[in-house]
Amino acid sequence: MTAEPTSYGAEAIQVLEGLEAVRKRPGMYIGSTGPAGLHHMVYEIVDNSVDEAMAGHASDINVVLLANGGCEVSDNGRGIPVDPSTQDPDKSAAEVVLTVLHAGGKFGGGGYKVSGGLHGVGVSVVNALSSRVEVEIDREGSRHAMAFVDGGQLSEKLHVIGTSPVTADGSPRTGTTVRFWPDPTIFDEISFRATTLLERLQMMAFLNAGLRITFVDERPGATTEAVEYCYEGGIRDFVRHVNASKESLFSDVGYLRQAEEKDGESMEVEVAFQWNTGYHSDGLHSFANGINTIEGGMHEEGFKKALTNTVNRYAREHQLLKEKEDNLQGEDIREGLTAIVSVRLTEPQFEGQTKAKLGNVPMRSLVERATNEKLAEWLEEHPSEAKRVLQKALQAARAREAARNAREATRRKSALDGAGLPGKLADCSSKDPREAELYIVEGNSAGGSAKDARNSETMAILPIRGKILNVERARLERMLANTEIQALISAIGGGVGDEEFAAEKIRYGKVIIMCDADVDGSHIRTLLLTFFFRQMRPLVEQGHVFIAQPPLYSTEVGRNKVYLKDDAAKAAFLAQYPNHKNEFQRLKGLGEMDATELWETTMDPTRRTLLQVSVEQAAIADEVFSILMGDDVESRKTFIQSNAQDVRFLDI
């Protein structure tokens, strides 16, 4: 943050529109009147303070959720100008800023060099959508105050209420405090969620190195503790933070920065990066003027292109790629990469579905040039890190190749051997996916019982080997080479992978996972859900995946075996047979039941209960899978230890 002395007063403020329009169509200005829009109000105010910080004039921003439902944002910037407005000498500039749309000084030039605020709508929009707004400004030695009610109606004209306190260096304090109470007639709900705000505030602190942001929740019953975010390392600390739960490939966080000025417009790019040992390729996060550009855009394109080029060039120059070997692909290089690309520019153009894609073309070449040049330098200066990055990317390329071969093998096999169905599959006679069901059964013996028990017209059985997870740390792609998984793919029949999977081709409308209620069963269930989540997501999204619920307990009444579904059933049973001998036994596995019992307790459509798997549940399984299979040995241990007791509910 470098100070940028500009003469800037009331004259730079342009009048564009009144506040009425905002109240009529709030969604146009803040996106929605739901929770997202409500929180946007806070961001809008905070963004103004951050702008002040980015221009080098503020170091501290404090956010308080007030006990009476309001939100207070204060900063130690220059203070909103208090002199008479040039447009209307009867009004202070501050009043204009609060009541005229787009009067923040960000528009019409001469104001900030760069500015944030996704919609850049400014404080006036917040005023329009609040039942009350109070502003206090320390400027020119005096503390000024003004207030508005009912969506921007002036209730207290700007007036001096005292002298500003003196700061450590002896000069009077400057700064702005805005307090607002969202209008309950506009918003569906007006209570703020602390964690939502914290996420954003922390992000702002990461993106603005050295900026101190504090947060206090003063509402009665608040559980969130006061926090202070301040990162001297900026986006380098951001990368460290993201990688904290992962095992990084090396301890250094790479960093590069380049700025450029052209035709009075300034552009700046900053990149921080570090690889971890994980297998995801989605660790690239980009920002433009502090806004998370989740749809990417020119800055991301430039970075990806330069990253791929530079790493390939390095690999060739250092003979890590042989002459006849193919180049590494971008996704190979990005596997395990955590990178933050943050750019600032005078007039950002936001495009795309959610206006979260940066459209400024010159940004692509700036980021590309900066990355090409400085990443190459970084690789040369960090040979041991570079070597690890290359090893990882080469491994990823080999895995990608292996997965492709495996997919092709599966496809060829399906094309060649008749219907292409796996030998282990006991298919059903119905070919109508609306009634056909596939039971994926853990273990051959349970598979046998299930085959005997089933209704062969509508129920297909695919036994799956118990220990498929005991491959070394499973790279997901490697699963594709697993014969059990290949059998599963051919049985389901819709193909595999993001591009190929077609839900309309699936052979069964219900895919039912039937596993033991023990650790192995739970592992297999997690693995299968992860697999479906990552490789056949529409199957989950469209509600085709289910979990069978074999009973948890068995006991005997006289000569009859009784199965009890869960703890509630056990309690009900005990209530009915109070004198029953205390031998309520946990079932060890599906294999303990014979075909009739399996049918009656778990498979009979008129009696069974199936759990339908939602995308959220599958996503959780995916996360659990990452912990179980990932490299963070500590989390894995803790997780297994703390969940070993009730494994049945471990992952869903």
**Positions marked catalytic:** 442, 516, 518, 520
Nearer to ligand 0RA, 80 or 256 (CB): 80
Nearer to ligand 0RA, 81 or 422 (CB): 81
| Least distance between ligand 0RA and beta carbon 48 (Å) | 3
In DSSP terms, 248 is beta-bridged to 276
Nearer to ligand 0RA, 122 or 302 (CB): 122
Nearer to ligand 0RA, 49 or 309 (CB): 49
Cα gap 245→248, rounded to integer Å: 9
Q: Does 116 interact with ligand 0RA (rule: CB under 6 A)?
A: no
Nearer to ligand 0RA, 291 or 469 (CB): 291
Nearer to ligand 0RA, 60 or 351 (CB): 60
| Least distance between ligand 0RA and beta carbon 73 (Å) | 7
Output the six-digit token pair for 384: 């041991």
Nearer to ligand 0RA, 121 or 358 (CB): 121
Segment 351-354 long-range contacts (CB within 8 Å, at least 24 positions apart): 351/295, 351/297, 352/295, 352/297, 353/295, 354/294, 354/295
Nearer to ligand 0RA, 122 or 550 (CB): 122
Dihedral angle computed from the Cα positions of residues 521, 524, 528 and 533, in that order, rounded to the nearest 10 degrees? 90
Side-chain-side CA neighbours of 640 within 13 Å: the count stands at 15
CB 412 within 8 A of CB 428: no
CB 273 within 8 A of CB 337: yes
Of 105, 336, 550, 630, the one binding ligand 0RA by CB under 6 A: 105
Segment 142-149 long-range contacts (CB within 8 Å, at least 24 positions apart): 142/82, 144/82, 144/94, 146/92, 146/94, 146/95, 146/98, 148/98, 148/99
What is residue 105's DSSP assignment? S
CB 139 within 8 A of CB 58: no
Output the six-digit token pair for 642: 């703390």
CB 626 within 8 A of CB 636: no
| Least distance between ligand 0RA and beta carbon 151 (Å) | 19
Binding track over 41-80 against ligand 0RA, x by CB under 6 A:
-------xx--x----------------------x-xx-x
Q: Does 117 interact with ligand 0RA (rule: CB under 6 A)?
A: no
| Least distance between ligand 0RA and beta carbon 61 (Å) | 9
* Interior angle at CA 119, CA 114 and CA 124, nearest 5: 95
Nearer to ligand 0RA, 97 or 397 (CB): 97
| Least distance between ligand 0RA and beta carbon 342 (Å) | 22
Which residues, at least 6 apart from 304, have a Cβ–Cβ distance to it below 8 Å?
A: 284, 330, 334
Of 62, 176, 526, 626, the one binding ligand 0RA by CB under 6 A: 176
User: Which residue type does 401 have?
Assistant: E
Binding track over 128-167 against ligand 0RA, x by CB under 6 A:
----------------------------------------
Nearest to 566 by CA among 595, 587, 545: 587
Q: Does 87 interact with ligand 0RA (rule: CB under 6 A)?
A: no
| Least distance between ligand 0RA and beta carbon 50 (Å) | 9
| Least distance between ligand 0RA and beta carbon 201 (Å) | 15
CB 288 within 8 A of CB 358: yes
Of 37, 81, 254, 433, the one binding ligand 0RA by CB under 6 A: 81
* Interior angle at CA 565, CA 526 and CA 587, nearest 5: 70
Q: Does 208 interact with ligand 0RA (rule: CB under 6 A)?
A: no
| Least distance between ligand 0RA and beta carbon 185 (Å) | 25
Q: Does 632 interact with ligand 0RA (rule: CB under 6 A)?
A: no
The number of residues that bind ligand 0RA (CB under 6 A) is 13
Q: Does 494 interact with ligand 0RA (rule: CB under 6 A)?
A: no
Question: Which residues between 6 and 45 bind ligand 0RA (CB under 6 A)?
Answer: 8
According to DSSP, the β-strands at 212-217 and 265-275 are unpaired
Task: Output phi, psi for 245, to 5 deg.
Answer: -90, 5
Which residues, at least 6 apart from 129, have a Cβ–Cβ distance to it below 8 Å?
A: 22, 23, 26, 29, 30, 41, 151, 182, 183, 186, 187
Binding track over 364-403 against ligand 0RA, x by CB under 6 A:
----------------------------------------
Nearer to ligand 0RA, 22 or 126 (CB): 126
Q: How far is CA 249 from CA 246, 253, 275, in A?
A: 9, 10, 5
| Least distance between ligand 0RA and beta carbon 77 (Å) | 4
* Interior angle at CA 33, CA 219 and CA 186, nearest 5: 75
Which residues, at least 6 apart from 52, have a Cβ–Cβ distance to it below 8 Å?
A: 58, 75, 77, 78, 176
| Least distance between ligand 0RA and beta carbon 124 (Å) | 11
In DSSP terms, 561 is beta-bridged to 556
Residue numbers of the site for ligand 0RA (CB under 6 A)? Answer: 8, 48-49, 52, 75, 77-78, 80-81, 97, 105, 123, 176
